[in-house]
A = this chain, B = another copy of it.
Amino acid sequence: MRQAYQIQLNDLGDHGARMCKVASDALRDATKSLLTADLSLAEQVIATDVVLDEMRASAETAALELLALQAPVAGDLRAVVSALWIVADLQRMGALAIHVAKAARRRHPAQVIPMEIRPIIERMGRVGVHLADQAAIVLRDRDTTLARTLETEDDLMDDLHQEMFAALLSPSWTHGVAPAVDISLLGRFFERFADHAVAVARRVIFLVTGENVGGDTTPAFSPPER
């Protein structure tokens, strides 16, 4: 009985790592679909919605069953509760990747992203994907040392976000209001994706150490003074 229970607990952790990989792949493909105006890739990302919702629901069911039938305490209890928080963050990461893919679909066959913004979006995508991949390792290995590095990497995303605003508000911006609105929202989606990856890492720190620093409390990055 006790052994089956440990297996269920481990399954829950592995499930999180797999779901994180789905979110990471979704952001990678969404960014690519945006930069290459690839409609079928965008549609493929949008379709992961169902997958992520099923993964969330099955993790929640498993966690609730563990709580009801095994009444875990201490570290095991934290593992189950963390899983409930973490799958919510992971589903949200997937949803944000899907928002990016929807922007690509909405403007297809037009290119949403003017040339001077493309390298920034590319790097935002890369940083987001890397954060999610790191979060998957944190989840799989319960690696709190790695977990604590995610916050620093998230600063890169904030820098890119600032660069993006600077480009939008520069006197040399010639593309008018409509693409600026699209890009402001896209920047927000990438930034929030990264925030949730950091939140996942924080939840793993809680899981291992019991130190509760809260989940998604990263301050929003804002447009600069003008």
B81 and A64 contact, CB distance less than 8 A: yes
**Interface assignment of A68: CB less than 8 Å from any CB of chain B:** yes
Given A53-B214, A53-B217: A223 and B182 interface contact (C-beta under 8 Å):
yes
Q: What's the Cα separation between A226 and B108 when bound, in Å?
A: 11
**Interface assignment of A178: CB less than 8 Å from any CB of chain B:** yes
B188 and A177 contact, CB distance less than 8 A: no
Residue in contact with A222 in the complex, picked from B67, B103, B225, CB distance below 8 Å: B103
Please name all residues of chain B whose beta carbon is closer than 8 Å to the beta carbon of A177 when the two chains form the complex.
168-169, 173, 176-177, 180
List which A208-223 residues lie within 8 A (CB) of chain B.
Answer: 212, 214-217, 220, 222-223
Q: What's the Cα separation between A78 and B169 when bound, in Å?
A: 48
Please name all residues of chain B whose beta carbon is closer than 8 Å to the beta carbon of A212 when the two chains form the complex.
57, 60-61
CB distance from A76 to the nearest CB of B (A): 10
**Interface assignment of A62: CB less than 8 Å from any CB of chain B:** no
List which A35-79 residues lie within 8 A (CB) of chain B.
Answer: 53, 56-57, 60-61, 64, 67-68, 71, 73-74, 77-78
Residue in contact with A216 in the complex, picked from B73, B92, B106, B222, CB distance below 8 Å: B92
Please name all residues of chain B whose beta carbon is closer than 8 Å to the beta carbon of A71 when the two chains form the complex.
71
A77 and B64 contact, CB distance less than 8 A: yes
B185 and A168 contact, CB distance less than 8 A: no
**Interface assignment of A6: CB less than 8 Å from any CB of chain B:** no
**Interface assignment of A32: CB less than 8 Å from any CB of chain B:** no
Please name all residues of chain B whose beta carbon is closer than 8 Å to the beta carbon of A102 when the two chains form the complex.
220, 222
A residues within 8 Å of B by Cβ? 53, 56-57, 60-61, 64, 67-68, 71, 73-74, 77-78, 81, 84-85, 88, 91-92, 95, 99, 102-103, 106, 165, 168-169, 173, 176-178, 180-182, 184-185, 188, 212, 214-217, 220, 222-223, 225-226
